[in-house]
A and B are shown apart, each in its own frame.
Chain A
């Protein structure tokens, strides 16, 4: 029984991390119909920015609790600076074109951002581990967990609810939903669709950077951290259905639990577990677990 509990807890902590990281990706696809290959790079930049902000905060002698605020501000900074820049200069010229063409544009962005990050921050790793110790340890049975990991679960729930509420209960959010359903009809009803795209992309980048910023305390921030994130985020959004928040949550949980079971019960299968789940889900539910009914245009 203890083993099952461990598997569950590990699955949940991993899933929380995954949810925060993948939510931005699914949102950007839902609204802009772009599968953002540079998503991992925004995550990495979020981590780097958090490292910078936290070290500035330390230099200014802020209290340790403020590091969390610093990380949040870092994510905001990344979104506010990078999102309008990339959206306006790069993506806007390609709207309406083939979906896969846009994927390649984002792949080019990924290449550019990888080297840009290395040129700005250098290749030496950054450590921003003070926040990791903020929540102490939590002992469950024979296992000792770091409180921070559980706090991530709380953050994931908070973020999920905030985005859901923002989309479904605010006026602006409903406009975004309208654009998701049909940009043409929304536009003809007077919605400024390009503003909505900009907003959605900014939030998407913010969420990616938030994931990176809050992951920074548990890793060493260095070149290459973006790559591991991309595929696993894809898996989550594909499983859950592109553009669906509930789908991202379920997708994250599925991947998290599958991975947790593989690691605890059959480590040999760990490499496969993610891709296999992805392939299996796609084979039976082509549009993901939370398919949106889409009218077919003739």
Chain B
């Protein structure tokens, strides 16, 4: 183990091909289905996919036994970056903005990653929470960023083409799903790689991994940076569909929802994270409609039922990777 070189494509090519085939297949089905869906539902799925990306990053850290409670910060950084690039610098291409959001969030996370890799358990969660709340405070204070109201961004373009009114929602839907699928497949490859498997081992017993020569702190820092990239990309995509950015993206309750989706999905299956994100959006949407006066109660009960009966997340329903 000590002399292992990092081979990112460790699993056998056949099973990787299978995963890619499944991923792209699901993407195709959803794209076709999306054409026939009512618009409010494509919007819901678009947001679910964007939010799911943030939770995917959290899963990457959860596999190592750490739960960040401040990913809202990455979502906010990605969203604000995309919005500022669009409004101030005239960069309107959706793909470019999505990637830019991810990269900028990654850059922001770099100075904190080494610090955070020293922490475990609840303290890791609390420090990430504190950082996200400081970001929230900054975003609230800075008038040129719109202060507490935030600001709007205009519709993005794609590959040089303007998006027509009637289909802009569908195009953003397809784009968000595409980016989500690509990142999900990359995540699956990373999780199954040597480094990814080492992360799993760290969840069990970090000390042993260290004794066996695995660079634990480096791995944690790397996972944090990758999670930031996923979070920032999700933020940029979400914000482009919403058309609006505001500081509350960085508030601790937003981060809590991302964590909830990650736990609901479970850390075994990547697709489960996105299914979980969709489930939460659907439940939130319907409890708002049917229980205008008590939707918080409905949502809370739903959360409890899920945590109680699906202890390892939705992923445990179809992935038998054993206990850890």
- Direct A–B touching, Cβ under 8 Å: yes
User: Which residue in B69, B263, B300 is a CB contact (below 8 Å) of A109?
Assistant: B300
Closest CB of chain A to B36's CB: distance in Å? 34
Question: Is A108 a contact partner of B134 (Cβ separation < 8 A)?
Answer: no
Question: Is A282 a contact partner of B126 (Cβ separation < 8 A)?
Answer: yes
Inter-chain contacts of A118 with B (CB < 8 A): 293-294
User: Which residue in A107, A109, A238, A298 is a CB contact (below 8 Å) of B207?
Assistant: A298
Residue A94, interface by CB 8 Å: yes
Residue B18, interface by CB 8 Å: no
Inter-chain contacts of B67 with A (CB < 8 A): 98, 100
B interface, size bucket: 35 or more
User: Which residue in B121, B129, B141, B303 is a CB contact (below 8 Å) of A108?
Assistant: B303
Question: Is A112 a contact partner of B296 (Cβ separation < 8 A)?
Answer: yes
User: Which residue in A98, A115, A276 is a CB contact (below 8 Å) of B296?
Assistant: A115
Question: Is A108 a contact partner of B300 (Cβ separation < 8 A)?
Answer: yes
Contacts A107-B303, A279-B130 given; does A286 touch B118 at CB 8 Å = yes
Binds A, one of B27-35, B48-56, B304-312: B304-312
Residue A119, interface by CB 8 Å: yes
Inter-chain contacts of A37 with B (CB < 8 A): 256
Residue A99, interface by CB 8 Å: yes
Dominant SS at the B interface? helix
Question: Is B304 a contact partner of A90 (Cβ separation < 8 A)?
Answer: yes
A interface, size bucket: 35 or more
> What is the bound-complex CA distance between A66 and B251, given in angstroms?
41
Closest CB of chain B to A261's CB: distance in Å? 17
Question: Is A238 a contact partner of B133 (Cβ separation < 8 A)?
Answer: no
Question: Is A282 a contact partner of B122 (Cβ separation < 8 A)?
Answer: no
Question: Is B297 a contact partner of A286 (Cβ separation < 8 A)?
Answer: no
> What is the bound-complex CA distance between A107 and B137, given in angstroms?
22
Inter-chain contacts of B259 with A (CB < 8 A): 100, 104
Residue of B nearest to A90 (CB): B304
Residue of A nearest to B211 (CB): A298
Inter-chain contacts of B138 with A (CB < 8 A): 272
Residue A9, interface by CB 8 Å: no
Residue B115, interface by CB 8 Å: yes
Residue A80, interface by CB 8 Å: no
Contacts A119-B294, A279-B127 given; does A286 touch B300 at CB 8 Å = no
> What is the bound-complex CA distance between A147 and B261, given in angstroms?
48
Residue of B nearest to A272 (CB): B137
Inter-chain contacts of A119 with B (CB < 8 A): 293-294, 297
Q: Chain A 215-257 against B: per-residue CB contact (8 Å), 1 yes, 0 no?
A: 0000000000000000100100010001000000000000000
Residues of A within 8 A of B (CB): 29, 35, 37, 90, 93-94, 97-101, 103-105, 107-112, 114-116, 118-119, 231, 234, 238, 242, 268, 271-272, 275-276, 278-279, 282-283, 286-287, 296, 298
Offer 26 A-B interface pairs, CB within 8 angstroms, sorted by A. A35-B122, A99-B122, A99-B125, A101-B263, A101-B307, A104-B259, A104-B260, A105-B303, A105-B307, A108-B303, A109-B300, A110-B300, A115-B297, A118-B294, A234-B126, A234-B129, A271-B140, A275-B130, A275-B133, A275-B137, A278-B130, A279-B127, A279-B130, A282-B123, A282-B130, A296-B207
A99-B121, A279-B134 given; 9 more Cβ-contact pairs under 8 Å: A37-B256, A100-B67, A110-B300, A112-B296, A115-B296, A119-B294, A271-B140, A282-B119, A296-B207
The 7 lowest CB-CB distance pairs between A and B, nearest first, are A111-B300, A115-B297, A112-B300, A108-B303, A279-B130, A100-B67, A275-B133
